[in-house]
Amino acid sequence: MSLPVPSSDALAASHALQNLIAAEIASNAGAISFAHYMELALYAPGLGYYSGGSAKLGKDGDFTTAPELSPLFGAALAQVAAAIIAQSAPQILEFGAGTGKLAFDILTELAAAGVQVERYYIVELSGELRGRQQERLRDFPQVVWLDALPDSFDGVVFGNEVLDAMPVHLVIKHPDGWQELQVTVADGRFQYLEVPASDDLLQQVARQIPEHAQLPVGYVTELHGIACSFMATLSRMLMQGRANAAFLFDYGFPAHEYYFDQRATGTLMCHYRHHAHPDPFYYPGLQDITAHVDFTAMALAAQEAGAEVLGYLNQSGFLIGAGIGELLLRTDPADAAAYLPQARAMQKLVSPAEMGELFKVLAVGKGVELPDAIVLQDRTHRL
């Protein structure tokens, strides 16, 4: 692969993480699940991608998220937040708040609209990102950082590109059934090792993958048990509240679109300095590792924990329903220098050829109704 060469300090950090992972493999009879490998690569204290100190987002990072593209994204979310707050409580909780840009834009928009937010909670695992958030949000005293979910919650929950970074197990189809792809060390390198899938993983295959028996031999895909557990935990928190809604934005598909014959190598993808590639063993700790989200599995996990599936739609439908077009027109089209960059950013957010179709929004919660313009875009029947 032709990828940028890491600095000497970055290489040293990656080598330290590789040694940690290799020691973990050695202490587990020579192999660990891919989910455990991914967990260490992303979250090992001080060394993992999200727990280390390197920049992740923006032009100096590895990828750009929707809030970084334009303040219109946060302003649109603020319109929906205001509608939910009117039915619930003046509280917002955000998972994985990145640089704090989304929180800043939401709070700025709500303040301008006269909507009071008493508390804006942020759950953030990355120390580097938490520091950037605290700097950006220093003028908003209602922002509070949490290390874990509260027991109950009323208000609005946002999670932008949270589910895709949750560790996944990998499985491969054999003539006689499914095997798990674990991670071992061979010839000084991390490599996959095929082992018999556990009963738990086989149950996940049967539960998660429609017509799994018809998939071709050699088919590789991901199992999202950890993300399903997160959805169950989130839903239990919501069920303890009176009225609330959680909105999860991510790239992915419903199950009947996820497990195509043509997607025979899975959806695992890595991001390093704005380059996307499929090798999760490339300099662990220096790159993001993600998998597309199975939104059917997420919705079922929430539903089984008691939450109501309020809606499922593509990002384009959500943002248009939230009024992003009207928000753009706050900038005078005659002022080309100000208007055109925002129009281009909005086009990227809503265009089916860009983020508009690939990114989806799953809304779950209790005791609230989504705005009519959002409901009109609903695709829950496609889950």
**8 A C-beta contact, residue 117 and residue 110:** yes
Q: Is 96 left (phi over 0), alpha (psi -120 to 50) or beta?
A: left
Per-residue pLDDT 10s for the chain (383 aa) are 677 788 888 899 999 999 999 999 999 999 999 999 999 999 999 899 988 755 544 444 455 799 999 999 999 999 999 999 999 999 999 998 989 999 999 999 999 999 999 999 999 877 778 889 999 999 999 999 999 999 999 999 999 999 999 999 999 999 999 999 999 999 999 999 999 999 999 999 999 999 999 999 999 999 999 999 999 999 999 999 999 999 999 999 999 999 998 899 999 999 988 788 999 999 999 999 999 999 999 999 999 999 999 999 999 999 999 999 999 999 999 999 999 999 999 999 999 999 999 999 999 999 999 999 999 999 999 99
195: part of which helix (H) or strand (E)? strand 189-196
CA–CA separation, 91 vs 88, rounded Å?
9
CA–CA separation, 383 vs 314, rounded Å?
12
pTM of the model: 0.95
Q: Which of 325, 324, 323, 318 is nearest to 361 (CA)?
A: 318
**Could you tell me where the DSSP H helices lie in 150-224?**
199-208
CATH topology of domain 1-383: Rossmann fold (3.40.50)
